[in-house]
């Protein structure tokens, strides 16, 4: 396959960026999208040019660090797929592919395709945890959880914190990310002692980080690589209302 790439290049956070054109040949349909970028960087390095900076770690759809906007869609055209799990068979020979970083005030560009997503870490630090006594593990049956609640909690817990929901939202809202964490813990007995303060702390931190408000566009659910439902946002809102009234 031969492809034309338009890649966002930005040397530093305080500098302006631009899309730069590259051409690649010999692209295998069995390559992952990150392997495509590896191939591009090999070509750039061989010609004495600076390689493109991009985030990656596990390359297994687990860590959430492979955050790219591909042809205007978070993680690309394949549904419920992180960028590292996107394969070049989803594109055609001769295609032009536009590759950009996440676009959000709370995700400042560090360099090229790398953005600072530490705002999500600070939301988690504000309340996305349970406080427990240390010691040996408790008996598994001492805190029974109904199967339906356990499954729903697990569905919310699959959030990998990639930030695609923020990038896709026209308001750059982190409501789905925050809601997944709040809803996950609100369904489990371990999360009940701190549930009221948790939802206040996490939503306030979300606002403080500069994320926008949710207006129910549903784009977050559409691009989430784990398919997390916006039902989580409704749960978070109910938790918040029960706390303040």
Per-residue pLDDT reduced to its tens digit, 31-77: 999 999 999 999 999 999 999 999 999 999 999 999 999 999 999 99
pLDDT band at 17 (very low <50, low <70, confident <90, very high): very high
- Which residue's entry shows tokens 């606002």? 207
* In the chain, % of residues over pLDDT 70: 100
Find all residues with CB under 8 Å of 41, minimum gap 6, and list them.
51, 52
pLDDT on residue 132: 81
Query: pTM of the predicted model, to two decimals?
Result: 0.93
Instruction: Please give the structure tokens belonging to residue 231.
Output: 């039902």
Distance, C-alpha 199 to centroid of its chain: 20
pLDDT on residue 138: 74
pLDDT on residue 144: 87
pLDDT on residue 137: 74
Strands of the chain (E only): list them.
3-9, 18-24, 69-70, 73-74, 96-100, 109-111, 114-115
**Do residues 173 and 212 make contact, with C-beta atoms less than 8 angstroms apart?**
yes
Residue 185, sorted as left (phi over 0), alpha (psi -120 to 50) or beta, turns out to be alpha
pLDDT band at 244 (very low <50, low <70, confident <90, very high): confident
**Do residues 80 and 35 make contact, with C-beta atoms less than 8 angstroms apart?**
no
Model confidence at 134: pLDDT above 80: no
pLDDT band at 117 (very low <50, low <70, confident <90, very high): very high
pLDDT on residue 112: 98
Q: Going from the N-terminus, what domains does the chain have, and what CATH number goes with each?
A: 3-111 (3.10.20.30), 117-131+144-242 (1.10.1060.10)
More confident residue, 245 or 168: 168
Per-residue buried b or exposed e for 31-68, using 16+ beta carbons within 10 Å of the residue's own CB? bbbbbbbbbbbebeeeeeeeebbbbbeebebebbbbbb
Calpha distance 102→62 (Å, rounded): 18
Q: Taking all residues of the chain, what is their mean pLDDT, rounded to a whole number?
A: 95
Model confidence at 136: pLDDT above 90: no
pLDDT on residue 59: 95
Q: Measured at the alpha carbon of residue 79, what is the angle toward residues 86 and 28, in degrees to the nearest 5? A: 20
Q: What is the mean pLDDT of residues 148-171?
A: 96
């Amino acid at each position: 396959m031969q492809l034309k790439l338009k890649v966002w290049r930005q040397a530093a956070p305080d500098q302006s960026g631009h899309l730069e054109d590259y051409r690649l040949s010999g692209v295998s349909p069995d390559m992952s999208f990150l392997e495509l970028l590896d191939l591009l960087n090999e070509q750039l390095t061989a010609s004495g040019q600076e390689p493109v900076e991009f985030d990656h770690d596990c390359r297994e759809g687990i860590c959430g660090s492979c955050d790219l906007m591909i042809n205007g869609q978070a993680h690309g055209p394949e549904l419920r797929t992180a960028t590292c799990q996107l394969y070049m068979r989803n594109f055609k020979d001769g295609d032009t592919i536009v590759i950009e970083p996440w676009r959000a005030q709370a995700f400042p560009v560090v360099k090229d395709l790398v953005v600072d997503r530490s705002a999500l870490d600070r939301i988690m630090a504000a309340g996305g945890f349970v406080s427990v006594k240390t010691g040996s593990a408790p008996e598994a049956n001492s805190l029974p959880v109904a199967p339906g609640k356990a499954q729903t909690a697990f569905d919310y817990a699959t959030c990998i914190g990639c930030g695609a929901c923020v990038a896709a939202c026209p308001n750059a809202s982190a409501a789905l990310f925050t809601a997944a964490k709040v809803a996950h813990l609100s369904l489990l007995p371990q999360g009940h002692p701190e549930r009221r303060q948790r939802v206040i702390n996490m939503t306030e931190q979300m606002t403080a980080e500069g994320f926008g408000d949710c207006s129910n566009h549903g784009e977050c659910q559409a691009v989430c690589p784990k398919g997390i439902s916006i039902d989580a946002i409704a749960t978070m809102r109910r938790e918040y209302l029960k706390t303040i009234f």
